[in-house]
Each structure stands twice: as C-alpha cells, then as structure tokens.
Chain A
Amino acid sequence: MRSASLHTSDLAIGYNLSGGAVNLLHQHINLQLHPGEVICLLGPNGSGKSTLIRTLAGFQKPLAGKVFFGEDNFNNLTAGQLARQVSVVLTGQVDIANANVFSMVAYGRTPYTGFIGRLRPEDRLIVNQALEQVGINNLAHRKFDELSDGEKQKVMIAKSLAQQTPLIFLDEPTAFLDFPARVEILKLLRQATRNSGKAILLSTHDLNLAIRFADSIWMMGKEKPIATGTPEDMVLQGQFGNYFDNPQVTFDKLSGTFTFDAEQIGEVAVAGSGLHRVWLEKALERKGYRLMGETKSGCRISVSENQHFVVNFINKKWIAEDIAAVLEILKKLDLSSENRATTT
C-alpha cells in the first residue's frame, strides 16, 4: 500500500446547530487520498459533498475523528502551515473588480510571501509557470471580472497551482461550464497530478466526465456510508444505481449514463444499422416510443441503403428523409398498444 497524502480516521462530518443539536451527515469516514490521484466526489445534492470538502480543507471542524496529512493531524496545523498543504477552488464566483489575472494567480503565493505580500522574483516565476500550465499566460494582464466563467475557473486553478500544495480540493469546478471547457479543466487537473504527484479531490455532478477522468470515485449518499473504488468497479458493483437511482432515473450500466423513462406512447420496431439507426432509436426513446422486436409491432421503421427512413404501418408506407419527418409521421398514427389491439 502506497502511503497516503491524506487520510481520515473515523471522521464524522456535519454541523453543530444552535441549542447544542447536531446535524450529523456522515460518520466513521475512513478515506485515503494518494499522491498522483484524481478523485471525483459524487453524490446527489444534499449528500454532504461540500461539507466533506470544507472539513478536509479545515474550514469547519470535524464532529469527531481526525484528518491526517502524512503524519500530521490537520487540527494541529496553523492556518499558515495548512495553506502550504491544501489549496482550494470553491464554488461561487469570486467577485473582484480591479484585479488582473496575474495578481489573482499571485494570491496563491500568499502563504510564502513576506509581511506586506510583495512578490519576490521566484514568486513571479512560479506564478508565470502556473499561468502557463493552465494555458492562460495570454490573459495575464486581463481584468479578472471581464473573463468568461471558464477562464475565471482556470485562473482559480492556476492560483491553486501557484500555491504549490500537495493537495488540491475543488468544489464543483465544472459547474456553469460548457462541455469542452469541462473536459479542458479535467484534462488540466489530471495533467497536474501526473506531472507533480499532486493529489486532487473534486466534487462534480458530471458522471460521464467522472467516469472518464477519475482514478477513483468517492460516492456519497444520504444515510449511506461513503463508497469508494475505481469508476469501472463502481459501475459493475451497481453503485451508481445505488446512490443515484430514483423512480424517474436509472443508471444504464452498458452506456454508463442515466436513462429516464418517458411516458410510453406506443411501440415501434426498428431495423437497419449504422449511425442512422442509433440516433433514430434515441429519438424514438426520447419521444416515449418503446422499441420492440422487429416483428411484434404494427409499426416498423427501417433505414434504407440511401439512408432514408422507411416507415411501415400495417399496410401503409412512407419514406422520410430525416428523423424530424419520421416523428411527424408517427405523430399522426395511433400506436398505443390498447388501440392497436382493437384495430387489428
């Protein structure tokens, strides 16, 4: 077993409420975070992801148990010592005018600079390296509040890198970002772990990206112990289903995505192959048509060789050039099974 960067021992997290009451979210938490690992923290809203990150980062005290960095108990470290072990990227926008990107990233040097915070040449070098690593050196003199959400997020990540901590915690760093920006952020974080042996813990709602990028997943749920494992093991063990399934949503182990059942409005059989068939099926599912075996339905759609869609219904036939046209045709037909039983 490799030695962990961070481990918890019988940690309990939650909040002390007024009047001595305690809102205990999770207890007996024993987790390890190893150097060079990207961990994705998953779980539905309200499962305690932010609370766990806040507790690990030292923003709030554990209700019980300890957090260790190497041999050091986090509770025994001063704010200044902790700032050299853990850096964070938090949810919520940093609202700061009149600051350029360089000085935002330079905030990461705060634990190392002197009394008034003046940057030494080596600090500037490290800030420039962080800008480069995140690929935003061209933004160095831009005003922070004029950046896009994705660029701002990169700036805060560069700040974390400039802080030169072995641990980086990020609370939903990909929220509010479009898909390419999310991929970019995660690639960047993974690179940081590969290059420097940093351990990164990030919470996210993006399961697809978590499965693609995480070395390991920590899965949180309400009233359930935290489950850990590689993304693939978690899928095979049905953990995604356990932690996220609800009556509306089910996790499809084959595609690794969540599916939700639309209200069924009829049955359709599909024939053919290739991309056109795949996307035809997706469209039919989205509209609520159940896909049946080829011969069991009164309605049958096949993809022709010239990539048109041929719709057969009992003894009628239409040819549609695109999926929109197929759906238009189906709308006019009554495909619900009860009605068909009476008509046939």
Chain B
Amino acid sequence: MTPAAATYQIHPHNTALKLLLLSLLIIIFFVLNIATGSVMIPPGEIVRILTGHAAAHPAWEGIVLNARLPQALTAMFAGAALGIAGLIMQTLFRNPLAGPSVLGVSSGASLGVAVMMLFLTMPAGKFISISHVTGNFGVVVAAFAGAFGVLLLIMALAARFRNPTIILIIGIMIAYAVTAIVGILQFYSLKEDLQAFVIWGLGSFANVSWQQLAYFIPLLIIGIVLALLMIKPLNALLLGENYARNLGVNTRRISLLAIFTSGLLIAVVTAYCGPIAFLGLAVPHFSRALLRSSDHLLVMPGTLLSGMVLALLCNLIARLPGFDGALPINAITSLIGAPVVVWIILRRNQISVS
C-alpha cells in the first residue's frame, strides 16, 4: 500500500476480515445450534437428516428438522432484526442507550399482544394456546400498533425535548406504564389466557413453526432492506439534525421511515418470540466497537451479522445440555448483553452513538 493510499483510507481496520469472521461464527454457531440439545444425536445422523436421508431414530428427524432448525433460523433473524432496530433508534434519538426494550417499544408491542390475547378474546370465552399467540397475524398487527404507537410518542417528545436523558427517562416511564396496563389486563383475564401470555412474555426462539417462519422471515427481510436503504441519511444524522438537513437529508421523512422500520422489526420479533431483552441495545455497540467505525455502511452489516452471532450464541447457551431443556432466553441475552455494554463503556470510557 502506498503511503498516500494509507493516509486517505477511511476505514483502515481490516473491516472485510472482521465481517468474514462474523459470517464464519454464524455458520459455526448455527451448526452447533442444530447439533446440540437435550437429546444427543450423533453428528453423522444430523448430516444424514439434513441431506434428506432417513435417520436411525425417526424421532431425531422431527427434532432436527422441526425443532432445532426453525429455532436456529428464528434466533438468527430475530438477533439481526433487534440489532438493526437498536442501531436505527440509537442514531435517530442520538442516544447510546436507546433500544427496543429500554425506550418501552417492546413494552408497547407487549401491550398490543396483551390486548389481543387477554382482552379481545375474553368475551367469546375462547382460550388461546401459546401456538395461537405466536402464529396469529392479528397478534403481529397488534404488536406493531403498540410498538409504533410508543415510537411515535417518543418521537413527538424528542422533537420537544432535545435532551437525550429526558427522552430516556420518559421511555423508561412509558415502559413502566405499559407494563402496569398489561398487569391490569392480566388481572381481568382468564387463567388459561394468562398462562399463555406469561409464557410468551418470557421470550423464546422455540415457538416459531415452519409455517410461521414463512411470514416471520420475509417480514424481517422487508424491515432489514428498509434499514439498508437508510444508510446514507442515518450517517448524516450522526452530525445532528441541522447538519443532516444542511447535507440535503429530508429529516422528517427519514425520521418517519426510521420509526416505521424499527417499529416493524421490533413488532414482528416481539409478536413471534416475546419481548427479547438487551440484544437490541447491545448488538450495535458490539458492532461499532468491533469495526471501530461510526459509518452505517459498515456498522449496519456489522450489526446484522453480530446480531445473528449473539442471538445464536444466546440460544446455544440456553439449550446447553444440563440445563434440562431450555433456560429462558431473556436470562441469557441479559447475562451476555449487560457485560457487553459495560465492557464497551469501561474500555472506551464513554458510550456513544457514533
């Protein structure tokens, strides 16, 4: 490399190598997700099953094809979606602590689901099972309405109060208020509905069937593509709203698109997997620290890939042999996510959206 080229290179930190490494980790963790679980299946048998051959035990086929494989795909896409939603929110609100769960957006989605599950079904006296909850398209729409509602509220407040700390506190308060409303709804709901809601609320990548994945994945891909379309304006927004506008960004339109996109991603994941803690907040910071960049052209793909890596890792840990089935995914995401954020703050002595 000539000195001149080195001087004017913008991203000098082996970015391609790092992104390749993340991709490799995705493959490794994906394979491990399929290979491990509460039932021991020999690796050779797994390869046979995946390549369409009959397994020694017919039950193994069901475990690999209808439990582990969809679960790994769900984790992968949910992790990517939450990470990207977190990245968009952190840039939009200029707030390093913004994320689906922190600003009450997951709570908003939960409220939508709770209304759908506990309230609307009550007069008919129908009981809802967990599979009805996660698959139901009405639940997705309700989750989206809840998430979008909270995001619009925060956006309106953010336009009024420029201070990120105020927005953060209001977001946390919204989360409390929404949780309280959900609690009241629960109080008036049928026992069976309530149980289904509580289980849903623990969060899991395990309850999405192949049929549901046929909606889950395309909806998330729409959201992710929308996010990738916003790379340039999101970069401009890092300088602040006025600079962004002066650089030709239609800030109002981008804000609405960003809110729609993050709302869609959070709502779809929350509707199918329940509220997943911490991934949305931690993944963008992980990506920025890894790539040492603020450029969304790098951080966005980095977030996509590291979201997949971290979600697959969390799912893997939750299902480790010896944990007797599966730990709640939220316990693992918090245990992994919280130290990641603390590590980043301590290492750089600061936390930043850029």
Binding site for B on A (CB under 8 A): 54, 57-59, 78-84, 86-88, 90, 92, 94-100, 102-103, 106-108, 110-111, 113, 115-119, 124, 128, 140-141, 163
Contacts and interface: CB of A to CB of B under 8 A. Distances in A.
B352 A97 contact: yes
A163 B246 CA distance: 10
Contacts of A115: 229, 232
A83 B239 CA distance: 15
B247 A83 contact: yes
Interface string B1-37: 0000011111010000000000000000000000000
A107 B236 contact: yes
A90 B354 CA distance: 19
A168 B23 CA distance: 45
Given A94-B243, A117-B297, 20 more contacts: A57-B246, A59-B242, A78-B250, A79-B245, A83-B246, A88-B242, A94-B239, A95-B354, A96-B352, A98-B294, A102-B10, A106-B10, A108-B247, A110-B235, A110-B236, A110-B248, A111-B248, A115-B229, A116-B231, A128-B8
Most buried by B among A88, A103, A116, A124: A116
Contacts of B321: none
Nearest to B291: A98
Nearest to B298: A98
6 contacts: A78-B248, A88-B246, A90-B243, A99-B238, A103-B10, A117-B231
Interface of B: 6-10, 12, 229, 231-232, 235-236, 238-240, 242-243, 245-251, 288, 292-295, 297, 348, 350, 352, 354
Nearest to B253: A79
Contacts of A108: 247
Dominant secondary structure at the B interface: loop
Contacts, number: 99
Contacts of A82: 246, 248
A226 B12 CA distance: 50
Contacts of B246: 57, 59, 82-83, 86-88
Q: Which A-B residue pairs are the 5 nearest by beta carbons?
A: A83-B248, A117-B232, A110-B247, A80-B248, A98-B294
A63 to B, nearest CB: 19
Given A79-B250, A83-B246, A97 B8 contact: no
A79 to B, nearest CB: 5
A96 B297 contact: no
Contact of A90 (B242, B248, B249): B242
A96 B250 contact: no
